Amino acid sequence: MPKISRIESIVPAIKPLKKVAAYARVSMQSERMMHSLSAQISYYSKIIQKNPDWEYAGVYADDFISGTNTVKRDEFKQMLSDCEAGKIDIILTKSISRFARNTVDLLETVRHLKSLGIEVRFEKENINSMSGDGELMLSILASFAQEESRSISENIRWATKNRFEQGIPNGKFRIFGYRWDEDQLVVEPEEAEIVKRIFQNFLDGKSRLETEKEFAAEGITTANGCRWVDSNIKVVLTNITYTGNLLLQKEFIEDPITKRRKKNRGELPQYFVENTHEPIIDMETFQYVQDEIARRKELGALANKSLNTCCFTGKIKCPHCGVSYMHNRRNDRGYMEYWNCGSKKKKKVGDGCPVGGTINHQNMVKVCMEVLGLTEFDEDAFLEQVDVIYVPKRYVLEFHMADGRVITKDCPNTGHKDCWTAEYRAKASAKRKKNGTKCIGASGFTGKIKCKNCGCNFRKATQPSATAKDGKAYYWRCAEHSNGCKTAGLREDVLKPLFADALGMAEFDDTLFRKKVDFVWVLSETELEMHLMDGTVQTLNYEPPARKCLPRTEEQKEHMRKVMKSIWTPERKAEMSERMKQMRKERGENWRKEK
């Protein structure tokens, strides 16, 4: 018989298309650059769509953004996000400088894409990131691109310096009170009046904080419609441009790669250009304000009359943080006055003040009286005899006297103890009985369910349960349960549908329960009395779930038999028999009826 072999039909394998995208960028805003960006987008769109092996995945383009970092390059970040989502296999770009001018950013990005199996092709340099020598070439050429960016920045800095030397500002900067009319600053009358008022307030002795509050009350805003705040007012008071003169190079870019701006404090020369525009404030007034700012800075908090200062203000110092202690008051737990390190409010970088804690004001006054030898505190004597008080460690004061002596005294913090009077304790207890405590894990039932027997709130508890889904049941029991209160506990999973039904809810809602229910009395094991906010009262029948014991396995039964046999020895049987005989003898004939 002839041999027959079946030849299967061959289905040609379809090669999957590569998803290809392109990235383009221009860094300067001009008509020529806009044309360049459009040309790049059009060019790469055509190239990708013409290739039969490629699938068009889009062109990502950032306009007027520097390539020295990726922070503001939204399209670049979107492209990386799409790469991570598997939407791109190949990225085309014109050159390394278009992709990134920062060597570190370039290599990190290319390595990340390489780990995802995504290839980057640089057209100008003819480099493929997936090739063997691709990363080496990228490192070398990226360094050139970064140095090119640095060189361009140096050229721009040199050109800016030349303009400054000629008295020409670097661009048309924004300043409140003026507007630009071609190349000339022109006074904006309405804004100029606000500037004059800021200076006049300061001359009248008002603090910046008082001016801020005044403007807020009158609805006076900045050019952007924002509220005037302390920092804005300080900028106005210290800006010499309002005198009709220009001070050039107040700031400079520290590094062309990071683009970090830094205030010029003598690192670079500044250029003072006189009489460039109409003044709003005369030079004599401006200089007087600068002297007054310096004087107030030297005085510290004592110069700001809007602050509630005292003789201790600026006198108590932290030797570790180098800042003064700040005066605080609180009334939530009775009246308390205390001082703490100013680094807490100033959010000083680091782990915070190593001393920590606070200084009780009343205790500090007593310690000062002891150091000064006074029976009654005298502010004038304190200011005359004490130079400064250091706090080297918690609850310790180090007095540096005017005569050179150093006296160290303990100053314990008893503020909480002092304010916790019998009256306040009773008030807090009544409040907790009514509202409960706002502890972690508090729910709508917290402070609402109360024991009719003793008047205490019910508290949440957890215990194993055979009837609960996760093996745990949440119970609410009287807070005095451990001290003998006999009121029965309530299961939460039974309470919720009971209350939901009584209040007409589709399902139980914590927030709605709190709004509608004032409190719930637990009258007995099965009877509840719900008092609503509108004054109505509802009686509810609570049916506790039937107790269910878990069935024991044969192994468990056998184990318990062995345990009982080992415990119930002949000696123990004899002992228990003697005890029962003695009980019967003592109680007589009615011993079974006694409890």
548 DSSP assignment: -
DSSP-assigned letter for residue 483: G
Q: pLDDT tens per residue, the chain (595 residues)?
A: 577 777 766 656 567 888 999 888 876 555 555 567 788 888 888 888 888 888 898 888 887 666 556 667 888 888 988 999 989 999 998 887 777 766 667 777 888 888 888 888 888 878 788 876 666 666 666 566 666 666 666 666 666 676 666 666 777 778 888 888 888 888 888 988 999 999 998 888 888 888 888 899 998 888 888 898 888 888 889 888 888 888 777 666 666 555 677 777 767 777 777 888 888 888 888 888 888 888 877 766 555 555 566 788 888 888 888 888 888 887 766 677 888 888 876 654 455 788 888 888 888 888 899 888 888 888 888 888 888 899 998 889 999 998 889 999 898 887 666 666 677 777 776 766 665 555 555 677 888 888 888 878 888 888 777 666 667 778 888 888 877 788 888 888 888 888 888 888 888 888 888 888 888 998 888 889 999 988 889 899 988 877 666 677 888 888 888 888 888 888 888 888 888 888 777 776 665 554 4
Q: Does domain 178-303 have CATH number 3.90.1750.20?
A: yes
Per-residue model confidence (pLDDT) at position 348? 47
CB count in 10 Å sphere of residue 364: 21
Q: Are 18-152 and 178-303 in the same CATH fold?
A: no
Beta strands 251-253 and 246-248, pairing class: unpaired
The pLDDT of residue 595: 45
Instruction: Tell me the three state secondary structure of residue 396.
Output: strand
pLDDT confidence of residue 390: 92
Nearest-5° Cα angle at 164, 158 to 170 = 85
CA 457 – CA 432 distance, rounded (Å): 9
Nearest one of 75, 66, 67, 24 to 48, comparing CA atoms: 24
Q: What is the pLDDT of residue 129?
A: 80
Of the candidates 211, 187, 186, the residue with the CA atom closest to the CA atom of residue 197? 211
Per-domain residue ranges of the chain: 18-152, 178-303, 316-418, 445-541, 554-586
Q: How far apart are CA 469 and CA 332, in angstroms?
A: 43
Euclidean distance between CA atoms 102 and 144, whole angstroms: 10
Look at residue 255 in the predicted model and tell me its pLDDT.
62
Looking at beta carbons, which pairs linking 320-329 to residues 24 or more positions away fall under 8 Å?
A: 320/353, 320/354, 320/355, 321/348, 321/353, 323/348, 324/300, 325/359, 325/391, 327/361, 328/358
**Yes or no: domain 18-152 corresponds to CATH 3.40.50.11540:** no
Work out whether the CA dihedral 422, 425, 431, 436 comes out positive or negative: negative
Question: Could you tell me what percentage of the chain is helix, strand and coil, using 3-state DSSP and rounding each to the nearest 5?
Answer: 40, 20, 40
Interacting residues of 329 by C-beta distance below 8 A, sequence separation 6+:
335, 336, 337
Which DSSP symbol is given to 221? Answer: B
β-strands 336-341, 18-26 pairing: unpaired
C-alpha angle 341-342-347 in degrees, rounded to nearest 5? 115
Alpha helices in 116-220 (DSSP H): 134-165, 189-203, 208-218
| Cβ-contact 44, 25 below 8 angstroms | no
Judge whether 488 and 506 are in contact, CB under 8 Å: no
